[in-house]
Amino acid sequence: MPVVTIDGLPISVEPDTLIIQAADRAGIEIPRFCYHPDLRPEGNCRMCLVRVKGFARLTPACTTPVADDMVVTTAHADDEVRRASRGVLEFLLINHPLDCPICDQAGECSLQDFYMHPDYGLHHSDVESREKVRKRKAIDLGSVYLDSERCVMCSRCVRFSNEVTGAGELQFVHRGNHVELVAFQDRALRDPYAGNLADLCPVGALTSRDFRFKRRVWFLHHAPSVCAGCSTGCNVRIDYTERGIERVVPRRNPFVNRSWMCDEGRFSYQTVSQLPRVTTPLTREGEDLHPVSWEQALACARGAFSLPRRGEAAVIGSPMATNEALWGLQEYARNMKDPVALEFRSTSADPDVEARLDELLLHADRAPNSRGAMMLGMGASDGLENIAVRAEQGMIDLALILHYPPVVPAGQPDLDRRVTALARLVRHARFSIVLTNADEDWWHAADVILPVASWSEEEGTYTNFNSTTQHVACGQDPPGEVRPAWRALLDLLASVPAARRYGSAQEIFDRGVAAMPAFDGLRFDTLVSRHATVYPPEGRTSYGQEGFAGR
Amino acid sequence: MTKVLSQNAEFADQTTLAGAESRGAYDGLRHALEQSPRDVIQEVAESGLRGRGGAGFPTGRKWGFLQFDPARPPVLLCNGDESEPGTFKDHWLLARDPHLVIEGILIAAHAIRAQDVFLYIRGEYESLLPLLMGALEEARAAGFIGPDVLGTGRCMAITVATGAGAYICGEETGLMESLEGKRAYPRVRPPFPAVRGFAGRPTVVNNVETLANLPWIMRRGAAAFHALGTEDSPGTKLVSLSGCISRPGVYEVPMGYPLSALLENEGGGPLPGRHLKAVIPGGTSVPILTAEEVATVTIDFESMRAVGTLLGSGGMIVFDDTVSMPHALRSISHFYATESCGECTPCREGTGWMAAIVDRLLDGGARKDDLDRLLRIGGNIEGRTICGLGDAAVQPVRSFVLKFRSEFEALLRDTIPRLEPDWQAHGHGPRTARRGAVGEEARRSEAVTGRPTYRW
Ligand SMILES: Cc1cc2nc3c(=O)[nH]c(=O)nc-3n(C[C@H](O)[C@H](O)[C@H](O)COP(=O)(O)O)c2cc1C
Ligand code: SF4
Ligand code: SF4
Ligand code: FES
């Protein structure tokens, strides 16, 4: 492997690595605007110029591959490079409106971050604001707003649109310092991935319509998570405050979603926050369901568990559930007398978790954990619809159902089917217990309702379409008396002597889930540490949001 | 003086194939086709021919970089964009001896084994097209172009493309983007065109004049060509002479010819009663020479380099004592500011900034340290851009300011000292009068964008 020396530090990297990537790996900061690890380098901003020994001129670190024995010096160690970086930053600022006080990017803006760095910025302005080239402001492009004056012409957005999604909706017009980014006739972008533009823009030129003026970014708390919108499992970061989730942005994972996510997934947090919730346990008294304490509800449900049974029991999971919750269901089924129908599928066919909706990210399966459910052996019966038929024939004594509505509108057809079957099951089973996060009509015939956490309210794991198991952290407190599903399930089993008693999602994963052959001894800690696919290196400046963890 | 390029240019029928052939046109091509491509490259390398597009890169060496790969056949681009201010020799050649250029193109295409050739003509040269298309049609009918050139089995096709009037389309990678139908944003090198150029194929870009030398070299041999001119700059040079001179025009002179002799003999000296002040020797992108320097240089790559300038395109612009250097610089700086493609930061922002400073030197509102500021900005552009336009924009600014500093300093006499901090300009105090300018600018930009701009 070639060994390149950057600022005196020898770094050994694979051939064809770019200097900037080698530096990132070694934790040496090279400032940049146009470079993005998931776009083809274009080398237009000139912020990353470095000196390579033997080269006549300074060279962009983002377009120059390393070679063996290459000696590179950066702005931290070389006066000329420092002058070059300072010069570029000064150029970028002369026509910038400096409207940080009303700019949404403030706090995560590469211009701000680099200006505050003594090696590149902190200079006095050499121009007066009346001398600046004026451009257009606040152009509404649908999911993003364009403020041309703030644009640094790095072309990340253009390259994203051309290379990543192929939408090709953005282009530069004019020449010289009048160059301006435009969308054709200012029409709203139709790219279903356009929300990414706001993330990848290193400055405040493209900002998210959804997040605009909502919160200053320095008030946000962050939780690494995984999108629940489909079986892709895009890595996301939940940005939340005491008010709840403020936005969801992609987290870079080169193996799953690179730096992107689809807009449906991005805005799925709205579905989650607007969901009508059930926040207290309910039990049946005659015709009606009444709020009760967890203890009362659990006592009632536990009674049903030990009731003598003539027919079948149905334990129904959901592909929206975490592996830990599904494991809880399994544990419940395992401790029951046979026959038990353990199921999460609507029909007897396995869901097609690999069917793609496009060439980029989206999968047709609108649940995050169908693969996990399959790997856990949840599909052991003949499908929910057949079970509902047996219930109607009076063959189901006890039904335990875990249910979540999908987080994206596209999941609706699936949901309708599922809910129809669940309604039949609940109506005809002799006794039914429902664990759910949503207040929905179909379960009004059930006997016990246990309120469980939604996506983002509990820790756990999902397994995506290609069997990658990923950790989701808890992004906000659940409302009311809501409990994580795995805890509610273990609580239900508290009186069963043979049931295992685990105290956390981590314990369930390590001792329960990971013991299943399909999970092959994975460790929860490892999954958590995989959040470390950080770009840029942890603790460094923002570089326009590609990397999220640890900030 | 031996003429390589212009020997037949004065014949009226030279633009027709019959006329041109009567004076030996396409003999060079026949000669080249008898040799292997490798031998042609060898011959051109031995002739010492250097590119006439600006950089003076040895043509044979440039061709030698190509790696032949049948999966990605090489492409030849003939650069007729000729947008360098003060340069009009390619137009002159194409208008007077189109078959010479076509023959040169075909020889080069044979040498690099290119089947596809593009002749890129700047948009403003539209009026050349009928003549050029006629000449190409004649050449095709005579079997010089087509699927089987002169019965050798070689296939060569020439496509004429026009630009839309942007200087940057003359920069070789910008030209490729333009040909591919895109905005002419130059490409970062590496990869170099010889490896990955037009449409991802190995590509050679040569200037019109460069290629027009080839027929002569093929007919007379490398040694004869090398005997012309100087050791390091063999051959002749077409000079576009313009500005304050009695007989402006295109002249072919041997390399090594004294610049002062050109001005006196070919150019007929200064206009009556005027005195030479300065000459830009290679298009506005090269440093200007003072009258004293002009007296010492000869027209070739080394001599120009020795006095700190470049032969460039050979576009020589003469300034006499009536010219105000700041006014001339204003015009030049605005050229670069409007022609910067806007891709890379230093050139995009820096050229506009320099032009604005030159403006305020002339229009009032300059600051005491504006000359140093110009030089400082130039230093932040030079060597830090994607293509050569950034460097080119700096050369006139720096050389004008350094060599004619007194003229610029005279403009600084009545400047207003700058107030710190900046916002005072918009508050009360001595600068209140300027606020009109803010309003004026805002009104203007409203008129352009149809949207209100805000100010504080
Ligand atoms: C901004 C810029 C503009 C240029 N314009 C022209 C041009 O109009 N014509 C030209 O022949 N070369 C032009 N060049 C030089 C070309 O990039 C290229 O070097 C040349 O065509 C090579 O031909 P040669 O080797 O025959 O000289 C320009 C270069 C730059 C940087
Ligand atoms: S809008 Fe943003 S991403 Fe696009 S070119 Fe401008 S600064 Fe770069
Ligand atoms: S130097 Fe100027 S013309 Fe060349 S790529 Fe950069 S901005 Fe464009
Ligand atoms: S030129 Fe390298 S990051 Fe922009």
B91: confidence class by pLDDT, cuts 50, 70, 90: very high
B165: confidence class by pLDDT, cuts 50, 70, 90: confident
Instruction: Quote the CA–CA distance of A43 and B209 in Å, as a whole number.
Output: 32
A520: confidence class by pLDDT, cuts 50, 70, 90: confident
At B428 the pLDDT is 37
A535: confidence class by pLDDT, cuts 50, 70, 90: very low
- The pLDDT of residue A310 is above 90: no
CA atoms within a 13 Å half-sphere pointing along the CA-CB vector of B314: 30
State the average pLDDT over residues B142-154.
94
- Nearest residue on chain B to A125, alpha-carbon basis: B422
One-letter identity of residue A214: K
* B211 within 8 A of B235, measured Cβ to Cβ: no
A531: confidence class by pLDDT, cuts 50, 70, 90: low
At A479 the pLDDT is 94
Instruction: Quote the CA–CA distance of B43 and B218 in Å, as a whole number.
Output: 8
* A140 within 8 A of A21, measured Cβ to Cβ: no
Output the CA B81–ligand 4 centroid distance in Å. 29
The answer to whether A175 contacts B451, with C-beta atoms less than 8 Å apart, is no
At B440 the pLDDT is 42
State the average pLDDT over residues A87-92.
97
Instruction: Quote the CA–CA distance of B100 and B219 in Å, as a whole number.
Output: 12
A374: confidence class by pLDDT, cuts 50, 70, 90: very high
pLDDT digits (tens, 9 = 90+) for A317-359: 999 999 999 999 999 999 998 899 999 999 999 999 999 999 9
CATH code for the domain of A459:
3.40.50.740
Examine the fold and report which residue of A65, A91, A117 is the final residue of a domain before the chain moves on. A91
- The pLDDT of residue A51 is above 70: yes
Q: Is residue A244 part of a domain?
A: no
> Is the bond leading into B190 cis (omega within 30 degrees of zero)?
yes
The candidate with the shortest Cα–Cα distance to A73, out of A89, A55, A90, is A55
Query: Which residues have C-beta within 8 Å of that of residue A199, sequence separation ≥ 6?
Result: A208, A249, A250, A259, A544, A545, A546
- DSSP code of residue A285: E
Residue B178, classified by CB atoms within 10 Å of its CB into exposed (0-12), middle (13-18) or buried (19+), is buried
Helix, strand or coil for residue B140? helix
At B422 the pLDDT is 41
Give the 3-state secondary structure percentages of chain B, helix then strand then coil, rounded to 5.
50, 15, 40
Residue B365, classified by CB atoms within 10 Å of its CB into exposed (0-12), middle (13-18) or buried (19+), is middle
Q: Is residue A444 part of a domain?
A: yes
Q: Which ligand is nearest to the CA of A172?
A: 2
The answer to whether A153 contacts B345, with C-beta atoms less than 8 Å apart, is yes
In this structure, chain A runs to a length of 551
- The pLDDT of residue B451 is above 60: no
Q: Domain range holding A79?
A: 3-91
Instruction: Quote the CA–CA distance of B339 and B122 in Å, as a whole number.
Output: 14
The answer to whether B380 contacts A84, with C-beta atoms less than 8 Å apart, is yes
What's the whole-number average pLDDT of chain A? 92
What's the whole-number average pLDDT of chain B? 91
Q: Is residue A377 part of a domain?
A: yes
At B167 the pLDDT is 96
**Paired sense of beta strands A282-285 and A221-226, if any:** unpaired
- Nearest residue on chain B to A84, alpha-carbon basis: B380
One-letter identity of residue A10: P
Instruction: Quote the CA–CA distance of A513 and A463 in Å, as a whole number.
Output: 11
Examine the fold and report which residue of A59, A75, A91 is the final residue of a domain before the chain moves on. A91
Atom of ligand 1 nearest to the CA of B79: 11
* pLDDT more than 90, % of chain B: 88
The answer to whether B437 contacts A130, with C-beta atoms less than 8 Å apart, is yes
Instruction: Give the residue, A537 or B223, on which the prediction is more confident.
Output: B223
Q: Is residue A106 part of a domain?
A: no
Q: Is residue A34 part of a domain?
A: yes
How many CB atoms neighbour CB A221 within 10 A?
Answer: 12
Examine the fold and report which residue of A91, A110, A131 is the final residue of a domain before the chain moves on. A91
Q: Is residue A76 part of a domain?
A: yes
Output the CA A34–ligand 2 centroid distance in Å. 8
Contacts of A88 in chain B (CB under 8 A): 345-346, 380, 384
Output the CA A5–ligand 4 centroid distance in Å. 20
pLDDT digits (tens, 9 = 90+) for B317-334: 999 999 999 999 999 999
Q: Is residue A62 part of a domain?
A: yes
* A157 within 8 A of A189, measured Cβ to Cβ: no
Instruction: Quote the CA–CA distance of B100 and B213 in Å, as a whole number.
Output: 8
Q: Is residue A199 part of a domain?
A: no
Query: Which residues have C-beta within 8 Å of that of residue A381, sequence separation ≥ 6?
Result: A314, A341, A342, A343, A387
Lowest mean per-residue pLDDT among A280-294, A296-310, A421-435: A296-310
Output the CA A111–ligand 3 centroid distance in Å. 21
pLDDT digits (tens, 9 = 90+) for A99-145: 999 999 999 999 999 999 999 999 998 888 778 999 999 999 999 99
Instruction: Quote the CA–CA distance of A392 and A429 in Å, as a whole number.
Output: 8
One-letter identity of residue B311: L
- The pLDDT of residue A166 is above 80: yes
Q: How many domains does chain A have?
A: 2
- Planar angle of CA A166, A167, A169, nearest 5 degrees: 130
At A522 the pLDDT is 87
- The pLDDT of residue B21 is above 80: yes
Structure tokens belonging to residue A398? 């006890």
- The pLDDT of residue B435 is above 80: no
Query: Which residues have C-beta within 8 Å of that of residue A420, sequence separation ≥ 6?
Result: A442
pLDDT digits (tens, 9 = 90+) for B409-429: 999 876 554 444 444 344 333
Q: Where do we find the tokens 């129809």?
A: A420
State the average pLDDT over residues B27-42.
97
Structure tokens belonging to residue B218? 């093929």
CATH code for the domain of A40:
3.10.20.740
A545: confidence class by pLDDT, cuts 50, 70, 90: very low
Q: Is A44 on the interface with B (CB under 8 A)?
A: yes
Probe target for ligand 2 pocket from A46, A114, A141, A156, with the most ligand atoms within 8 Å of CB: A156
- The pLDDT of residue A543 is above 90: no
At A306 the pLDDT is 79
Atom of ligand 4 nearest to the CA of A63: 2
Q: Is A42 on the interface with B (CB under 8 A)?
A: yes
At A532 the pLDDT is 43
- The pLDDT of residue A550 is above 60: no
Instruction: Give the residue, B187 or A534, on which the prediction is more confident.
Output: B187
At A254 the pLDDT is 85
Indicate which of A19, A44, A155 best probes the interface with B, i.e. most B CBs within 10 Å of its own CB: A44
Probe target for ligand 1 pocket from B44, B120, B207, B339, with the most ligand atoms within 8 Å of CB: B207
DSSP A72-132: EE-TTT-HHHHHHHHHHHHHHHHT----GGG-TTTTS-HHHHHHTSTTT--PPP-S-GGGS
Helices (H) and strands (E) in chain A, counts: 15, 22
Instruction: Quote the CA–CA distance of A208 and A196 in Å, as a whole number.
Output: 9
Question: SS3 string of A240-267?
Answer: EECCEEEEEEECCECCCCECCCCHHHHC
Residues with CB under 6 A from ligand 3: B 168, 186, 340-344, 347-348, 385-387, 389-390
The candidate with the shortest Cα–Cα distance to B304, out of B50, B131, B102, B81, is B50
| B53, B57, B76, B78, B252 from B50: Cα distances, Å | 9, 5, 17, 15, 16
At B415 the pLDDT is 56
In this structure, chain B runs to a length of 456
pLDDT digits (tens, 9 = 90+) for B98-133: 999 999 999 999 999 999 999 999 999 999 999 999
State the average pLDDT over residues B346-369.
95
Instruction: Quote the CA–CA distance of A444 and A189 in Å, as a whole number.
Output: 43
